Amino acid sequence: MWDVVASSSRWLLNEDSWLTSNLTWSSTVPVRESVSADHYPKPEDLIVAILLCPLWLASRYLTERYLSRPLGVTLGIKGDKKLKNRKREKNTFVVS
C-alpha cells in the first residue's frame, strides 16, 4: 500500500509539472538565516484572518443598517419588491 502512496506522491509533486526549469522544491523552502525568508506566508497567518472575520461582518451589518439604508431612503431609492409565493399552474400542453 505504501508503494502506491509513494508513487502517487511522486507523480503529484513532480517538479516538471509544477515548477519552471530553473526551480526545484528545495529552492522554494525558506531559509531561516536568509533575510528574504520573511516574505513567505506561514499557516499561523490564517489566525489573524479568522479572528478579523466577525469584526468585518459586524462592520458590514452596521454600515448597511445605520448608514446605507437611511441614505437610500433619503435619496428616494426603493428596495426590491418581495414576490409572493404563487402556486404553479399545471401545464396545459396538449400532445396530438
Tens-digit pLDDT string for the chain (96 aa): 778 888 887 777 777 777 788 877 777 776 665 555 556 667 787 888 889 999 999 999 999 999 999 999 899 887 766 666 666 555 555 555
3-class DSSP state of 78: coil
Closest CA to 63 of 75, 51, 74, 55: 55
- CA triple 42-46-51, angle to 5 deg: 145
Contacts (Cβ under 8 Å, ≥6 apart) of 37? 30, 31
Question: What confidence score (pLDDT) does residue 54 get?
Answer: 95
Question: What confidence score (pLDDT) does residue 35 get?
Answer: 52
Closest CA to 72 of 84, 80, 39: 80
Residue range 40-53, pLDDT digits in tens: 667 787 888 889 99
**What does the alpha-carbon distance between residue 33 and residue 12 come to, in Å, rounded to a whole number?**
30
Grid cell digits, residue 4: 502506491
